Structure 1
Amino acid sequence: MKVPVPARVALVPGAFAAPGPGSWLGTRAWLLDLLVVVGVFLYNLPIIPIYAIDVVAGVGLVGVSVVLCGPYLLRRRYPLGVLGVMLLAACVQLALGAPILAADAMLLFAVYNVATRYLWWASLVGAVATVAWLLVAVIPHLGADFLDVGQLGVLIVVTFWVWTWGTLVRIRRQYIAGLHDRADQAERERETNARIAVADERARIAREIHDIVSHSLSVVVVMSDGAATKVDSEPDRAKAAMLGVRDTGRTALAEMRRMLGVLRDDEPGSHAPQPGFLQLDALVEQSRAIDMPVDLTVSGEAAPLPQGVELTVYRVVQEALTNVRKHAGPDLTRVNVRLTYRPGEVEVRVSDDGRGPTNDAGGHGLIGMRERVAAHEGTLTAGPGAGGGFEVVAVLPREVEVA
């Protein structure tokens, strides 16, 4: 049950943590309060005649006992209000000539209740007010065979002990609520990280499929067109082109199976090695088979690179050659693929003398290349070359591999 907060009293977040909803006490806490109220009230009734000087005073003390006990049933909704009403009833009790009643024990329950729900300084006011009432009620009667100084001191200590106990319970509830909040926050962070990881993996798969399908289909289309035009005049050349179509299709299927292996571990070919530098020659030969004037040059001291870097270089060259086929135009006379090893980095440069893409974006291919290179803390530039045509340059660190 949520307790309303009085306007000018600060509450501690999480201080209202209640027993678990499935526990017996959590669903029947009101019954325990009722037992306390009825028990204290019935125990108090036989004591009233000792202090009642007449019937009116006796009836008044019964009414005071009702007000001391009854409001406790509302302690969860109005903690401070219940304590205030009890203190007011206790003051009326003094006016009726009764210094101490058994029902006054309800003040201790009210002090504890306030201490479990409010900051220490707010609940301490209630504890001090209760002790002040106790002093006013007892001190005038110390010499009249009533409570002695030691007993008064015990009552004061008990009052502050009850307040301390309630404060510690509040602190514990606040601590447990904080643990629950941190656990919930950690769970939300795990879910968010999982969603981000899924989105990243989907983007990676989309880039892979784009590169495979775009490159392979463009090669198949060009080879098929060439075979169709040469089937009558140059059947041997047309046959060679169709064999190239077959090999390209098989390669694309193998790579697609490998990509499906990311989603299904038991997919045949899911553990096939990913393409890298060793497949660049085959990629260049595939482009030459469709009459693209491609040259591959490797310079610098070659050294093994992380698999992710090799795959990125392969995909950059693959996508760059695909863009050349799409956008270079009929005046294309050269395509240079240069792989340069340097200390700490590797550079791949694909340049041509064609007309290049008609806009700066270059479609999803260039975007995919930039994402791949950026994932390995590299840089990619794409645009018109210094001597005309179009140029793609990617620079990747040799020692960094991103999972």
Structure 2
Amino acid sequence: MVGRMWEWLRGKTPLVDAFLMAPLALFSLPGVLGGAYGVPVVTYVAVTAGLLLPLVLRRTWPRPVFVAVVLVAGVQCLAGIVPLPANIAVLTVLYTVTAGFTLRWGVAAAVVVEVGAVMATFRYPSGAEDRQITFAMLTVVTAGVWLLGLHMRTRRAYLRSLEERAERLERERDAEVKVAMAAERASIARELHDVVAHNVSVIVVQADGASYAIEHDVGRARQALEAISTTGRYALGEMRRLLGVLREDDDAGAYAPQPGVAELDDLVGQVRASGLPVTFEVDGMPPGLSEGRQLTVFRIVQEALTNTLKHGGPRVSATVRLRYGGDAVEIRVDDDGRGAAASDDGRGHGLVGMRERAAVYGGTVRAAPRAGGGFGVLARIPTGDDE
């Protein structure tokens, strides 16, 4: 609510400036009611209005307002009208020009106001010593307001540079994430290419075996045809996902077998050998997961343990739990390391890769520091039909 009101006020600059000018108008009101300063009421009101009313537009048209206020003050001085409370408007427009424009404009505005101070010093009768004091006071006030405006201009420039830098870093970060996502999708596509190639190879071998056995062993031929049907469904599902993540033609290279859930024991053993104590638990009976899903499970566990090694800190340990349910496999990797206090260079995209892999199969990944310390990764991969 406050933020929206502030945004609304930022678009109503004259209204805000009128609100800021109101205290000067109230400060000048006793002179109208009491006939102070030895000035006729009409003259007092005319000079006060000429000095204050332009302030309503001081940020809309700063330089014209500066000229108008200075001209009114100059005519006032030449006419011998004593300084009034509304003459503070001269310092206000000096600050506005100095804070809103270049140093050259700020210096020019300060020189004009200082000339007015000299005119006021010699225009109004007083003793020589009083004139020196008056000139010194007016000069100090002018210099103080000018320095305040200069400081504000520098601060605004600094804040603008910070905002621009933050926007640039945000754009660069988004670009890096997009590049990482594209690279991860290309990697997934290559791996799925290998899976599909393997399934097609199995289909060819089984088809050759079925054609040979159909004349000698009908039962064995039937088994081969069933294997072809099952493998074909898996291959078709993986091919659809391959086309879903592939963005451009890519040379998949030579076929290489891809790891699955059976290789998780070897992965855990390798991580333990590197010095990270890992507890590996499996809950439930593994369903007949396709090779692509098994590869996704393997990569998520691998990336989570890699992050623990990189960011967990000394004497960290991890737990890997696989729970096979009726319609999904749940992967949970928790550690007791630094958690939210872990350093991050901002260049890693492991979490992006995990989410991309899970999304291929309609799964989800949640990764965040744990409340009691450490870091946790929770992934859920549906085990639906691959047809």
**Structure 2 Cα separation of the partners of residues 269 and 60 of structure 1:** 85
- The change in CA–CA distance for 1:21 and 1:172 in structure 2 (over 3 A counts) is farther
240-249 or 144-153: bigger deviation: 240-249
**Structure 1 Cα separation of the partners of residues 298 and 150 of structure 2:** 56
Q: What letter matches 2:144 in structure 1?
A: W
Q: Deviation of residue 122 (structure 1)? A: 1.0
**Structure 1: any 5+ residue segments left out of the alignment?**
1-18, 272-403
1:349-388 to 2 correspondences below 5 Å: none
C-alpha contact (below 8 Å) 2:78/2:123 kept by paired residues: no
**Structure 1 Cα separation of the partners of residues 45 and 210 of structure 2:** 111
Provide the secondary structure at the position in 2 that maps to 1:116: helix
1:193 aligns with 2:176: yes
C-alpha contact (below 8 Å) 1:99/1:138 kept by paired residues: no
**Structure 1 Cα separation of the partners of residues 128 and 35 of structure 2:** 18
Look up the match of 2:52.
Answer: 69
Look up the match of 1:338.
Answer: none
C-alpha contact (below 8 Å) 2:24/2:85 kept by paired residues: no
Q: What letter matches 1:160 in structure 2?
A: A
- The change in CA–CA distance for 1:190 and 1:22 in structure 2 (over 3 A counts) is farther
Q: Deviation of residue 201 (structure 1)? A: 1.4
1:110-149 to 2 correspondences below 5 Å: 110-141=93-124, 143=126, 147-149=130-132
Provide the secondary structure at the position in 2 that maps to 1:155: helix
1:32 aligns with 2:19: yes
Q: Deviation of residue 34 (structure 1)? A: 3.5
Q: 1:94 aligns with which of 64, 69, 77?
A: 77
Look up the match of 2:63.
Answer: 80
Q: Deviation of residue 83 (structure 1)? A: 1.1
Q: Deviation of residue 29 (structure 1)? A: 3.2
Q: What letter matches 2:200 in structure 1?
A: L
Q: What letter matches 1:261 in structure 2?
A: V
**Structure 2 Cα separation of the partners of residues 269 and 218 of structure 1:** 30
Look up the match of 1:168.
Answer: 151
Q: Deviation of residue 145 (structure 1)? A: 8.3
Q: What letter matches 1:127 in structure 2?
A: A
Q: Deviation of residue 109 (structure 1)? A: 1.1
Q: 2:296 aligns with which of 245, 255, 260?
A: 260
C-alpha contact (below 8 Å) 2:207/2:225 kept by paired residues: yes
Give the percent of matched residue pairs that are identical in Structure 1 and Structure 2: 29
C-alpha contact (below 8 Å) 1:40/1:69 kept by paired residues: no
**Structure 1 Cα separation of the partners of residues 193 and 122 of structure 2:** 91
Q: Deviation of residue 153 (structure 1)? A: 0.8
Provide the secondary structure at the position in 1 that maps to 2:171: helix
* Offset from partner CA, 1:30-57 (integer Å, 9 cap, x none): 45323234124325547976454xx6xx
Q: What letter matches 2:190 in structure 1?
A: R
* Offset from partner CA, 1:172-220 (integer Å, 9 cap, x none): 2222232222222222222222222222211111111111112321331
Provide the secondary structure at the position in 2 that maps to 1:213: helix
Q: Deviation of residue 61 (structure 1)? A: 4.7
**Structure 2 Cα separation of the partners of residues 161 and 230 of structure 1:** 102
- The change in CA–CA distance for 1:24 and 1:39 in structure 2 (over 3 A counts) is farther
Q: Which has the larger radius of gyration?
A: 1
- The change in CA–CA distance for 1:188 and 1:43 in structure 2 (over 3 A counts) is farther
- The change in CA–CA distance for 1:134 and 1:165 in structure 2 (over 3 A counts) is same
- The change in CA–CA distance for 1:35 and 1:226 in structure 2 (over 3 A counts) is same
Q: Deviation of residue 269 (structure 1)? A: 10
**Structure 1 Cα separation of the partners of residues 48 and 331 of structure 2:** 81
Q: Deviation of residue 263 (structure 1)? A: 8.7
**Structure 2 Cα separation of the partners of residues 139 and 163 of structure 1:** 23
Q: 1:209 aligns with which of 178, 192, 202?
A: 192
Look up the match of 2:305.
Answer: none
- The change in CA–CA distance for 1:109 and 1:205 in structure 2 (over 3 A counts) is same
C-alpha contact (below 8 Å) 2:18/2:55 kept by paired residues: no
C-alpha contact (below 8 Å) 1:79/1:110 kept by paired residues: yes
1:175-324 to 2 correspondences below 5 Å: 175-233=158-216, 255-261=291-297
**Structure 2 Cα separation of the partners of residues 124 and 20 of structure 1:** 36
Provide the secondary structure at the position in 2 that maps to 1:98: coil
CA RMSD of aligned residues (A): 4.0
Q: TM-score, normalised by structure 1?
A: 0.51
**Structure 2 Cα separation of the partners of residues 20 and 139 of structure 1:** 50
**Structure 2: any 5+ residue segments left out of the alignment?**
235-256, 259-288, 302-321, 323-327, 333-387
C-alpha contact (below 8 Å) 1:51/1:98 kept by paired residues: no
Look up the match of 2:28.
Answer: 41
Q: What letter matches 1:41 in structure 2?
A: S
Q: What letter matches 2:16 in structure 1?
A: A
* Offset from partner CA, 1:333-361 (integer Å, 9 cap, x none): xxxxxxxxxxxxxxxxxxxxxxxxxxxxx
C-alpha contact (below 8 Å) 2:73/2:87 kept by paired residues: yes
1:154 aligns with 2:154: no
Q: Deviation of residue 132 (structure 1)? A: 0.4
Q: What letter matches 2:68 in structure 1?
A: V
Q: Deviation of residue 131 (structure 1)? A: 0.8
Q: Deviation of residue 25 (structure 1)? A: 11
